[in-house]
Chains A and B, each alone.
Chain A
């Protein structure tokens, strides 16, 4: 309890000394730093889609007949898609 007045005094003095501060920083250096961080950070990059191949093991579809592309679209593999019914198109 004896320390309390001292702590309060320092707290008061500390608070009263908090003058508004202007933070100056080098914008171009900051920009470069941000770019550096962006370039160096490793993200979970999906593996690029391998090429089509008549060999199901080497083909992008892995023999399933369906290829999923980087943006989520799926297409039929021209080598391994079995059912060639192409009639699900809607006339427009």
Chain B
């Protein structure tokens, strides 16, 4: 096993990604694009706004270890469940932000077979885990407490000898992401986002911590990192996508469209050329969420 800890959170391994995406039913979105092609043209769709509406406040994630792949995936699951609640009016309820520790461990151990040392994972592993084993909101599940983020718990569960507790897998499997597909171009990303599908973006492209006057961040430096696209504005004179990071409030500068703290806009051509082209960016479809429960509050 290679020691890849120096690479940070995302492991850039195109061959590994290709191998890992084989079992997927719709591995490449381009093949299934037809029905929604160009539907996002000149449109604005802000998935972060749906999260805000459903959750009451937007969760700003702050990772403490190299588990960015799970952080980005968790944002995509948050978006999927909030689109179901706010837009599709499905009988589901927001419980809490999506937990990351199980996604991280599941990606590395259940999907990846414990083949990586140090921190990190492939984007496709997290996408597959959410598709095959689901994702759950923060909370207590029997003896397993996932109510508060713990980077050390993620790291320990993510060790080759670790994994996701079986009792948690049983619950998680009831709440899968229905389909995950690789996204390769801005136009695909635009149409997916405009239809309510969030996209995880893994690449080695970094960005400036200073947003410009229009809320965009300039490509700058290298990050082996996964984030999440939670909005598109193809109507604006400068078309682009909203990228949500998981480093807390790490950047500053003007904002547009009430974007969340810690986020930045990326120009359309830049996101395609520098991120989507790297082949490990994944659209998350609908989520089998949590049905509202009528609680019996009678005092006996």
Judged by a CB distance under 8 angstroms, whether B37 is at the interface is no
Judged by a CB distance under 8 angstroms, whether B209 is at the interface is yes
Most B C-beta atoms less than 10 A away, residue of A35, A60, A71, A72: A71
Contact with B along A65-92 (1 / 0, CB 8 A): 0010111110111110100001011001
Minimum CB–CB distance for B240 against chain A, Å: 17
A71:B119 contact, CB within 8 angstroms:
yes
A39:B273 contact, CB within 8 angstroms:
no
In the bound complex, residues from chain B placing their C-beta under 8 Å from that of A28 are 167
A70 touching B220 in the complex, CB below 8 Å, given contacts A39-B143, A78-B210, A78-B253: no
A88:B250 contact, CB within 8 angstroms:
no
Contact with A along B262-299 (1 / 0, CB 8 A): 00000000000110010000000000000000000000
Judged by a CB distance under 8 angstroms, whether A34 is at the interface is yes
In the bound complex, residues from chain B placing their C-beta under 8 Å from that of A14 are none
- 8 A Cβ contacts from A21-77 to B: 28, 31-36, 38-39, 41, 43-49, 51-52, 60, 67, 69-73, 75-77
Judged by a CB distance under 8 angstroms, whether B176 is at the interface is no
A35:B8 contact, CB within 8 angstroms:
no
In the bound complex, residues from chain A placing their C-beta under 8 Å from that of B209 are 67, 75-78, 81
The size class of the interface chain A forms with chain B is: 35 or more
Judged by a CB distance under 8 angstroms, whether B235 is at the interface is no
A46:B157 contact, CB within 8 angstroms:
no
Would you give 19 A-B contacts (Cβ < 8 Å), ordered by A?
A: A31-B167, A33-B143, A36-B143, A39-B144, A44-B152, A45-B152, A48-B62, A49-B250, A67-B209, A70-B151, A70-B247, A73-B9, A78-B209, A78-B251, A78-B252, A89-B218, A89-B220, A89-B221, A92-B205
From B63, B165, B249, contact of A35 by CB (8 A): B165
Minimum CB–CB distance for B221 against chain A, Å: 6
From A34, A71, A79, contact of B252 by CB (8 A): A79
In the complex, the 7 A-B pairs of residues with the closest C-beta atoms, listed nearest first: A43-B152, A78-B252, A70-B64, A71-B66, A35-B143, A71-B9, A70-B63
- CA of A38 to CA of B274, assembled, Å: 39
Contact with A along B145-179 (1 / 0, CB 8 A): 10000111101110000000111100000000000
Q: Which residue of B lies closest to A34 (CB)?
A: B165
Contact with A along B231-255 (1 / 0, CB 8 A): 0000000000000000111111100
- CA of A81 to CA of B64, assembled, Å: 22
The size class of the interface chain B forms with chain A is: 35 or more
B65:A71 contact, CB within 8 angstroms:
yes
- CA of A47 to CA of B253, assembled, Å: 25
In the bound complex, residues from chain A placing their C-beta under 8 Å from that of B142 are 32, 35
B64:A38 contact, CB within 8 angstroms:
no
In the bound complex, residues from chain A placing their C-beta under 8 Å from that of B208 are 76, 86
In the bound complex, residues from chain B placing their C-beta under 8 Å from that of A67 are 209, 250
- CA of A67 to CA of B249, assembled, Å: 11
- CA of A38 to CA of B159, assembled, Å: 13
Minimum CB–CB distance for B163 against chain A, Å: 10
In addition to A71-B8, A88-B221, 16 A-B residue pairs with Cβ atoms within 8 Å of each other are: A32-B142, A33-B143, A34-B165, A35-B143, A35-B165, A35-B167, A38-B153, A39-B145, A43-B156, A45-B152, A49-B248, A51-B249, A71-B67, A72-B66, A75-B206, A75-B221
